């Protein structure tokens, strides 16, 4: 029996038909409650409230004294997934943030370089077009590229929305196009020099 159920009651004098009332509690722990429809004169809602408190307190004491329950709770907390790291505000680049630093790899050049190599490999493996910009790529192939990259480099699983992988793919595509453009210009310049030299040789021969 709960402590508040052991409260004395008296009927109003000279009025047998009047509602029952409760005596004022005389000890700490006695609860003064309004009469209710049950046969003890205890308000059902208040009774349920105190029972809930009692059960919660009992369960807490049981868990505190049960090492197995404590260990289970600790394991569940450890297994809970950590919050994913969002993309920082602003843009990557000379006047923005550094990708290696925001990935918390400032002191791990080896892992960062390995992830960059994996990104280039996954671009080719997923069938992305090296001659097109990021926005021109097929969304399905991009998704496949990100999945493969995270599979090869589980470190990337901690980032929200694959934003580091996206930045790496964008940079790799840009660098490849710049390299090809530079090679093409160099070849054209070389061809032009060759043509000019051949023209001078022809002129010299004709002058003889």
What's the average model confidence in pLDDT over 68-86?
A: 66
E strand intervals along 123-181: none
Burial of 76: CB neighbours in 10 Å, binned 0-12, 13-18, 19+: exposed
User: What residues form DSSP beta bridges with 10?
Assistant: 21
- Identify the pLDDT of residue 22: 45
What is the rounded CA–CA span in Å between residue 203 and residue 72?
92
DSSP state, residue 20 = P
- Identify the pLDDT of residue 94: 77
How is the chain split into domains, by residue range? 3-79, 100-207
Return mean pLDDT, the chain.
76
- Identify the pLDDT of residue 75: 62
Q: Return the SS3 of 189.
A: helix
How many other CB atoms are there within 10 angstroms of residue 40's CB atom? Answer: 16
User: What residues form DSSP beta bridges with 22?
Assistant: 9
**Residue 61: pLDDT band with limits 50, 70, 90:** low
- Identify the pLDDT of residue 12: 46
**Residue 190: pLDDT band with limits 50, 70, 90:** confident
What is the rounded CA–CA span in Å between residue 166 and residue 170?
6
Report residue 57 as tokens: 């307190």
What is the rounded CA–CA span in Å between residue 43 and residue 207?
123
What is the rounded CA–CA span in Å between residue 185 and residue 175?
15
Report residue 107 as tokens: 């002191």
Report residue 97 as tokens: 């943030």
Map tokens 């109003």 to a residue. 12
């Amino acid at each position: 029996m709960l402590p508040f159920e052991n409260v004395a009651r008296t009927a109003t004098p000279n009025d047998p038909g009047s509602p029952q009332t409760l005596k004022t509690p005389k000890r700490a722990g006695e609860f003064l409650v309004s009469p209710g429809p049950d046969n003890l004169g205890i308000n059902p809602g208040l009774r349920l409230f105190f029972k809930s408190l009692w059960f919660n307190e009992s369960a807490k004491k049981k868990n505190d004294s049960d090492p197995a329950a404590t260990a289970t709770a600790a394991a569940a907390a450890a297994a809970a997934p950590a919050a994913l790291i969002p993309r920082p505000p602003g843009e990557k680049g000379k006047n923005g943030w550094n990708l290696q630093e925001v990935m918390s790899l400032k002191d791990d050049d080896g892992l960062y370089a390995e992830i960059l190599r994996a990104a280039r490999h996954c671009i080719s493996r997923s069938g992305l077009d090296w001659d097109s910009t990021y926005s021109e790529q097929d969304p399905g192939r991009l998704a496949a590229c990100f999945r493969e990259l995270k599979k090869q480099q589980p470190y990337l699983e901690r980032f929200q929305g694959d934003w580091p992988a996206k930045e790496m793919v964008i940079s790799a595509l840009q660098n490849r196009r710049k390299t090809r453009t530079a090679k093409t210009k160099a070849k054209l310049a070389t061809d032009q020099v060759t043509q000019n030299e051949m023209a001078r040789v022809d002129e010299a021969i004709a002058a003889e």
